[in-house]
Amino acid sequence: MTGIPRAILAVDAGAATTAVAILGRPADRWRLMGSLVGPAPASPDDLAAILVGRIRAADPGLAAAIGLEPDAIGDLPRLEARSAPPVTLGVLAASRRAVGLLHGVAQRTSWRVVAASPESHDPREMTDLALRPEVGAILVGATEPPGPDERAAIDDVAGLVAAVLRRRPDLRAVVAGPIATRRAWADALGDDAEQAAGRILEAPPLGPRSGPDETLREILEGLLPGAMDTRHTAMRSLASLADVLDRRIELVDIGLEGGLRAVAGPGVADEGPTVEGVRSAGGALVPLDPDEAAVEEVLAWTTGSLDRHRMGDRLRDLRSRPWADATGEGARLRLAAARAAMTRLVDVTPDLSALPAPDLTLMAGGAFAAAPGGSVVLAVADVVRRTGATQVALDHARLLGPLGTIDDPDERRDIVADLADDLLSPLGSLVIAAGMPPRLRGRAATGTITLDPEDGTEAIATTARRELASGELAILDLAPGERANATLVFRDSARIGRRARRFSVSVSGGLAGVIVDLRDVPLRLPDRRDRRRAALATWGEQVWPGDER
């Protein structure tokens, strides 16, 4: 941006919904004036026109101060991020083991992945898979030197991929390992070798038990046209936010076409903020073609009585019209699907799970946009299970993506600093404790939690105390904006990040208050469906409000 405008239109055009927000600078800092979300493909201009009308009606003076005119929406500077639709990556290798290694890396990218090897598909089927129009690139790889399980078929795979490249001039290929040196590769490319060279990218070979993760992921992400992709730009905003707040922040974003899990830390000394994350098409709210496994994953989190077929029908409809049926049972189904998606995302990010609990867990994406705050915190507690205390907040105006489109990190940091309070909607604090001795199970009280006033103007006025029991989910009221010192004292030692009997953590309020989770880590749900549903229903009752309008 050049100069300093008084108002900016931020647009996050997702696959399921379009979100717009008006940022204004009535005095010396940026503020969030308002936001509005509509079902995709709602035009940002139509949404902005309605939003501007509401702001003008609510506070004409403020609207005038930032120059909001209904006829001048097209003139507003824009920060616009879009969810790029995922493209399919064909993953091929000469053995089941090798293709598994490549698949493990590819599913930690924004590509939708289909994989095949001669042990699972015959050459005609593999060619068919690679020729499908929806396949945008091929990833083929082998270990260096090829393992015994690869030697028999490596020439076939090399010849097959090269022949497909010759037949599809639009296709790109990433070659990891000694594939292009095979004679079958050169023979199949024939006279097209020179023309195809620009479409072939080299990557490090496979290790015996692992793929070349970081380098290969960068190459694969680089093939996607995603410079303004909302999950790509959100990671940049996350780094700025971590730096501004001087906090470690974990971002979990579940959208229709993919998910993002990232952890950012503030800069130390002369170094800038750090961020590491994984974008994964597997983290999508509902897979493109939900199969029985996907149905089971969601059923495992539901409390209703839907059978597999009905659940499959609901998931197909949720996939095709993700904005619809978002009330009542539809809202619960959406959160169950979001839990299943988060589980898939957590499964492909063990490196992030191994990190200590962040100071702030930030939820984003359409899956959580309309849900009650407590239900979102419970979803986090159910799936991202790390002992420790974290504040949970929601990117309610969907600003992370648009703010990340600001290329200059200093300029981005300045605007994020102004907006930090506005863009975070506090949902509450989550304290997960584990490691209580099993002999204490079932006793009336395992310990206590006390919320004491914290020094400061927004601290709570009185002390709250509650007994805690192993396996329970305890919720204490703490309003948004309030802060407190939580003191947890256990009869025997427990683990909240570290093992001790007494813990003191700072917590802040939100729509859900403070949730103390004393359930198993990892969460163990009963195998029997009726008991599992009963357990989920018991926990859910505490965070889902009544159905009255």
Q: Which residues bind another protein (CB under 8 A)?
A: 36-43, 46-47, 49-50, 53-54, 122-125, 127-128, 131-133, 155-156, 158-160, 162-164, 166-168, 184, 187-188, 190, 309-310, 312-314, 316-317, 320-321, 323-332, 370-372, 544-547, 549
Q: What DSSP element (H or E) covers 231?
A: helix 230-245
Q: Which is nearer to another protein, 394 or 431 (CB)?
A: 394
Q: Which is nearer to another protein, 40 or 355 (CB)?
A: 40
Look at residues 110, 118, 86, 113 and name the one whose alpha carbon lies nearest to residue 102: 113
* Residue 329, burial from CB neighbour count under 10 angstroms (0-12, 13-18, 19+): middle
Taking the complex as a whole, the smallest distance from the CB of residue 47 to another protein amounts, in Å, to 7
Residue with tokens 């009869």: 491
- β 259-265/249-254 pair status: antiparallel
Taking the complex as a whole, the smallest distance from the CB of residue 21 to another protein amounts, in Å, to 14
Q: Which is nearer to another protein, 48 or 223 (CB)?
A: 48
Q: Which is nearer to another protein, 131 or 535 (CB)?
A: 131
Cis peptide before 522 (omega within 30 of 0): yes
Q: Which is nearer to another protein, 162 or 399 (CB)?
A: 162
Which tokens hold the place of 501? 């009997």
Q: Which is nearer to another protein, 69 or 214 (CB)?
A: 69
Q: Which is nearer to another protein, 30 or 323 (CB)?
A: 323
Residue with tokens 């830390």: 265
Q: Which is nearer to another protein, 54 or 97 (CB)?
A: 54
Q: Which is nearer to another protein, 528 or 549 (CB)?
A: 549
Cis peptide before 133 (omega within 30 of 0): no
Taking the complex as a whole, the smallest distance from the CB of residue 169 to another protein amounts, in Å, to 11
Q: Which is nearer to another protein, 127 or 485 (CB)?
A: 127
CB 275 within 8 A of CB 238: yes
CB 96 within 8 A of CB 157: no
Q: What is d(CA 434, CA 255) in angstroms, rounded to the nearest whole number?
A: 30
Q: What is d(CA 77, CA 244) in angstroms, rounded to the nearest whole number?
A: 24
Q: What is d(CA 481, CA 458) in angstroms, rounded to the nearest whole number?
A: 7
Backbone angles phi, psi at 304, to 5 degrees: -80, -175
CB 392 within 8 A of CB 377: yes
Q: Which is nearer to another protein, 45 or 202 (CB)?
A: 45
* 545: DSSP letter: P
Taking the complex as a whole, the smallest distance from the CB of residue 547 to another protein amounts, in Å, to 5
Taking the complex as a whole, the smallest distance from the CB of residue 353 to another protein amounts, in Å, to 30
* 279: DSSP letter: E
What dihedral do alpha carbons 248, 253, 259, 263 form, nearest 10°?
0
Neighbours of 33 (CB within 10 A): 25
Backbone angles phi, psi at 505, to 5 degrees: -130, 150
Taking the complex as a whole, the smallest distance from the CB of residue 162 to another protein amounts, in Å, to 7
Taking the complex as a whole, the smallest distance from the CB of residue 323 to another protein amounts, in Å, to 4
Q: What is d(CA 103, CA 212) in angstroms, rounded to the nearest whole number?
A: 11
Q: What is d(CA 121, CA 129) in angstroms, rounded to the nearest whole number?
A: 10
Taking the complex as a whole, the smallest distance from the CB of residue 415 to another protein amounts, in Å, to 26
Side-chain-side CA neighbours of residue 546 (13 Å) = 2
Q: Which is nearer to another protein, 53 or 222 (CB)?
A: 53
Q: What is d(CA 342, CA 359) in angstroms, rounded to the nearest whole number?
A: 19
Backbone angles phi, psi at 476, to 5 degrees: -120, 135
Q: Which is nearer to another protein, 370 or 440 (CB)?
A: 370
Taking the complex as a whole, the smallest distance from the CB of residue 511 to another protein amounts, in Å, to 10
Backbone angles phi, psi at 335, to 5 degrees: -70, -35
Taking the complex as a whole, the smallest distance from the CB of residue 529 to another protein amounts, in Å, to 19
- β 78-82/274-280 pair status: unpaired
Helix axis angle, 308-320 to 329-347, nearest 10°:
90
Q: What is d(CA 540, CA 377) in angstroms, rounded to the nearest whole number?
A: 11
Taking the complex as a whole, the smallest distance from the CB of residue 37 to another protein amounts, in Å, to 7
Taking the complex as a whole, the smallest distance from the CB of residue 312 to another protein amounts, in Å, to 4
Taking the complex as a whole, the smallest distance from the CB of residue 366 to another protein amounts, in Å, to 10
